Amino acid sequence: MEIKLTEIAKLVGGTITGNGDINITGLAKIEEAKSGDLTFLYLDSYQKYFTNTQASAILVKPGFNKTREDITYIEVKDPNKSLTQIVVSLLPPKFPLEGIDKTAFVHTEAVVGKNTALGKNVVVSKGCKIGDNVKIFHNTVLLENAEVGDDSLIFQNVSVREECKIGKRCIIHPGAVVGSDGFGFHPGEDGAWEKIPQIGNVIIEDDVEIGANVTIDRAALGSTLIKRGVKIDNLVQIAHNVVLGENIAIAAQAGISGSTKIGRNCLIAGQVGVVGHLEIADKVTIYAQSGVSKSITESGVTYFGSPAKEYKTALKIEAHMRNLPQYAEKIKQLEAEIKLLKEKTGL
């Protein structure tokens, strides 16, 4: 990579202060940047690195205090988004996989589209349908009648079980499992757990990204449904018959229990747990480590805590909990004073 800073500024619609003719040879974090690098600053917590960064240029917000003259500034509305735009335009990630490896198995009754690449030991079972321009990396297995849409990218060691459907332009990261059995059991008369057959499937719509080691269970009946544009972080569990609305984002280690339905454009932070058979409205935010035990019917609200409560209420409760030792001491003091008053008044 080597490009004039003026060209980068034009790409992101930024305003230059300093020498725009310098050549940029790399992109780097502010604390690791060296001469020739372009870096960015969008969080106040990284301001401490600005004094000593060796970067030649930096993306900053409008009005940034330009205290150094040895660095060139590009002012943009959102440095983080602008850096992403630069990466996408100048340094798009490449995933080198071409053709069908000789160790891959493709059943004679499977359909594989044009320009699709299959890595080592990939298994494409009977009745599978794979679209055009798909890349499926090593050791991934598609069982009977699974489908993968055009331009999707499936990394190594992914398991897609029978009858499951993956849409167009999806990305599935290593170790993910699509269509494992839902956790369906009921106790028998002798107390032993009897398995309930899970005969549904998983449907993943277009433009979904699924992180490493995510598990999405097949439905007991019907479909577990992941709608268009959903983004799921690593180590998330999606149980049977869950429905995730469009453009939901779910952070790592969250768990969504069976038959829960979540509306569109929700944000679920890390380690959130959601009880089964609930409904959550559109545009709801649930902060980290919260436990959702009841449906959330109002859209656009923020919840926190375990059990989860409206955010401001939860903060008040948390503040009181932190002060419990002081409250206990105060109560002991008041009890002693009341006792003394009773003794003095003879009550």
What is the CA 249 to chain-centroid distance, rounded? 5
H or E stretch including 4? Answer: strand 3-4
Cβ 8 vs Cβ 26: under 8 Å: no
Q: What's the CA gap between 212 and 165, in Å, rounded?
A: 18
For the chain, the domain total comes to 2
Question: For residue 324, with 0-12 CB atoms within 10 Å meaning exposed, 13-18 middle and 19 or more buried, which class applies?
Answer: exposed
128 and 26, same structural domain? no
Phi, psi of 251 (to 5 degrees): -85, 175
Cα–Cα distances in angstroms (integers) from residue 116 to residues 99, 100, 207, in the given order: 7, 8, 18
- Indicate which CATH number applies to the domain containing 164: 2.160.10.10
305 and 192, same structural domain? yes
Q: What's the CA gap between 6 and 40, in Å, rounded?
A: 16
- Active-site residues, by number, are 240
262 and 121, same structural domain? yes
Q: What's the CA gap between 67 and 73, in Å, rounded?
A: 11
Cα–Cα distances in angstroms (integers) from residue 281 to residues 63, 240, 265, in the given order: 38, 19, 9
Q: What's the CA gap between 224 and 332, in Å, rounded?
A: 55
Cα–Cα distances in angstroms (integers) from residue 15 to residues 35, 89, 121, 332, in the given order: 21, 19, 51, 64
125 and 259, same structural domain? yes
Residue with more model confidence, 346 or 314: 314
Cβ 228 vs Cβ 205: under 8 Å: yes
Q: Where are the alpha helices (DSSP H) in 212-323?
A: 311-322
In a domain, 17, yes or no: yes
Q: Nearest CA to 55 among 75, 33, 40?
A: 33
- Phi-psi map region of 13: left, alpha, beta (phi>0 left; psi -120 to 50 alpha): left
Residue pLDDT, tens place only, 93-131: 889 999 999 999 999 999 999 999 999 999 999 999 999
55 and 111, same structural domain? no
168 and 67, same structural domain? no
117 and 34, same structural domain? no
Residue pLDDT, tens place only, 161-206: 999 999 999 999 999 999 999 999 999 999 999 999 999 999 999 9
- Indicate which CATH number applies to the domain containing 84: 3.40.1390.10
Give the structural domain span for 12. 3-90
Give CA angle at 224 (209, 230), nearest 5°.
25
| Number of Cβ within a 10 Å radius of residue 297 | 10
Percent of the chain with pLDDT over 70: 100
In a domain, 334, yes or no: no
Q: What is the pLDDT of residue 321?
A: 87
Pair of tokens at residue 170: 């999806």
In a domain, 329, yes or no: no
299 and 229, same structural domain? yes
241 and 166, same structural domain? yes
Q: What is the pLDDT of residue 126?
A: 98
119 and 45, same structural domain? no
Asked if pLDDT for residue 345 goes beyond 90, the answer is no
In a domain, 327, yes or no: no
Cβ 200 vs Cβ 242: under 8 Å: no
In a domain, 203, yes or no: yes
Q: What is the pLDDT of residue 57?
A: 97
Asked if pLDDT for residue 343 goes beyond 90, the answer is no
Question: pTM of this prediction?
Answer: 0.89
Residue pLDDT, tens place only, 277-296: 999 999 999 999 999 999 99
pLDDT, mean over the chain: 96
In a domain, 147, yes or no: yes
